Amino acid sequence: MNLYFRLIWTLLRAWRLPKLVMDEVFEREFRVLPNDIDVNLHMNNGRYLTVADLMTVEFFVRTGFLRILLKKKWKPFAGGTIMTFRRQLKLGQKYRLRYRWTGCDDHWNYFFVEFLTLDGVICAKGYSKGAMVSKTGLVSMVQSFESLDFERKDNELPEAVLHWKESEQKIMG
C-alpha cells in the first residue's frame, strides 16, 4: 500500500468511529486523485485494490482486531481478490466504497467490496480474502474469533465465493 497519507487519515479517523459489528456493512466516500489514475486518465485497476485495503484497515481498527494483531504479533495476509470492472472512475470524481465481511472458512475471511458513483452506479465489485499469520503459519478462524470474543456462526459463503474457491483449487492444483 503506498497511500501513506490516506492510510494515516484512515487510522486517525477509524479510532474515533464507533465499534463495528463483524458483519456490518460500512461505506466511505473517496475522490479519484492524480496519483490514482493511469494513462487513460481514469482510476488504475490496481488502485481499486489498494483503496480497498484502506477499508480493511478501518475494519481491523473498528472491530478491535488490530489490537489483537499487535498483541499476538500476528500479521494480516491477503490471499487473493476477484474483481469485476464495469464503469470507469475519472480524475476528480467522488465515489463510495462499500465493504462487508461475508464469512469465512477454516483459515480465510472473505470480504465484499463495491465501488459506486455517488448516484449509485456500480463501477466495480468483487471479493477479497485474507488471513492472519503467526510464526507457525495461518491462524485458524476458531483462534481468531476466540481472541475477538466473537462467536463464529455457521455461515453460508456467497455462491460467487464458492465458485472462486473452486476455481482456485483448479488453478493451484
pLDDT of residue 154: 67
What is the per-residue pLDDT across 145-171, written as a single tens digit (0 to 9) for each? Answer: 888 877 776 678 999 999 999 999 999
173/11 Cα distance (integer angstroms): 38
Residues 111, 101: contact at Cβ < 8 Å?
A: yes
Torsion, CA 56, CA 110, CA 94, CA 54, rounded to 10 = 10
100/84 Cα distance (integer angstroms): 17
Facing residues of 42 across strands?
90
3-class DSSP state of 140? coil
What is the per-residue pLDDT across 118-152, written as a single tens digit (0 to 9) for each? Answer: 999 999 999 999 999 999 999 998 888 888 877 77
What is the per-residue pLDDT across 6-60, written as a single tens digit (0 to 9) for each? Answer: 999 999 999 999 999 888 999 999 999 999 999 999 999 999 999 999 999 999 9
Mean pLDDT of the chain: 93
Q: How confident is the model at residue 79 (pLDDT cuts 50, 70, 90)?
A: very high
Q: What is the mean pLDDT of residues 79-100?
A: 97
At residue 19, φ and ψ (nearest 5 deg) are -60, 145
CATH for 32: 3.10.129.10
* Count of structural domains, the chain: 1
User: How many Å is the maximal CA-CA distance in the chain?
Assistant: 47
Domain interval for residue 168 = 4-172
Note the Cα 142 to chain centre separation in Å. 20
SS3 for 71-131 is HHCCEEEEEEEEEEECCCCECCCEEEEEEEEEEECCCCEEEEEEEEECCCCEEEEEEEEEE
pLDDT of residue 2: 59
